[in-house]
A and B are shown apart, each in its own frame.
Chain A
Amino acid sequence: DVKVTQSSRYLVKRTGEKVFLECVQDMDHENMFWYRQDPGLGLRLIYFSYDVKMKEKGDIPEGYSVSREKKERFSLILESASTNQTSMYLCASSFPGRTSEGYNEQFFGPGTRLTVL
């Protein structure tokens, strides 16, 4: 079974703090993704990575950065947390590129519910 784990299920931080969210996958997936999930807005892509040390901006990268030093680990960083970053953060991973069956599905972690006070 593919397993994607996230370092915390719940996190409470104060405005201005630097926040690290960690994600680890155990299936040797090249691709990793960070989303935020908000009621009525669905999932929005923050950043993604197709390889170690590689990163690409998603749809809402402002206020976030990422780090991928090892293949299995993808970190999301909030440099200076703000209240509008209170959300559920989801990490996902997948195999890369095209296959005979098209693009591979993404496997998700349990999420980190972050509250910024």
Chain B
Amino acid sequence: AQSVSQHNHHVILSEAASLELGCNYSYGGTVNLFWYVQYPGQHLQLLLKYFSGDPLVKGIKGFEAEFIKSKFSFNLRKPSVQWSDTAEYFCAVNARYGGSQGNLIFGKGTKLSVKP
């Protein structure tokens, strides 16, 4: 069965620090990869997604993620975080196989706290 691992449960950074959140998935075939963000009290929203092509994907609010197929990874990065980036971040994979539509499989989430 496919699975997604997010290695950090809670990350605490100061403003202007660089961010990298790890995400690894277990599936050998073609995958679509997503990062969602949930700001306090708000609904989950899409940060960025990878379907094919350039493995470096840019999303909203200065976030980017790099798909490294050989490492089964899709790490999220931001060069300089702001207090407003405080949120919970979820990595998700949608495995394409046969005729299946494939459901999203989510990691357990990483809470990011940015100190002003």
Question: Which A positions have Cβ atoms within 8 angstroms of B?
Answer: 4, 31, 33, 35, 40-45, 48, 50, 58, 90, 92, 96-98, 101-103, 105-111
- The answer to whether A105 and B103 touch across the interface, beta carbons within 8 angstroms, is no
- The answer to whether B103 and A58 touch across the interface, beta carbons within 8 angstroms, is yes
- The answer to whether B101 and A101 touch across the interface, beta carbons within 8 angstroms, is no
Q: Given the known A-B contacts A98-B96, A102-B52, A109-B43, are A50 and B107 also in contact in the complex, defined by CB atoms under 8 Å?
A: no
Q: Is the interface of A mostly helix, strand, loop or mixed?
A: strand
A-B contact count (CB 8 A): 55
Question: Which B positions have Cβ atoms within 8 angstroms of A?
Answer: 6, 9, 32, 34, 36, 42-46, 49, 51-52, 90, 94, 96, 101-104, 106-109
Residues of A within 8 A of B42 (CB): 110
Residues of B within 8 A of A31 (CB): 101
Q: Name A108's closest neighbour in chain B (CB-CB).
A: B44
- The answer to whether B9 and A97 touch across the interface, beta carbons within 8 angstroms, is no
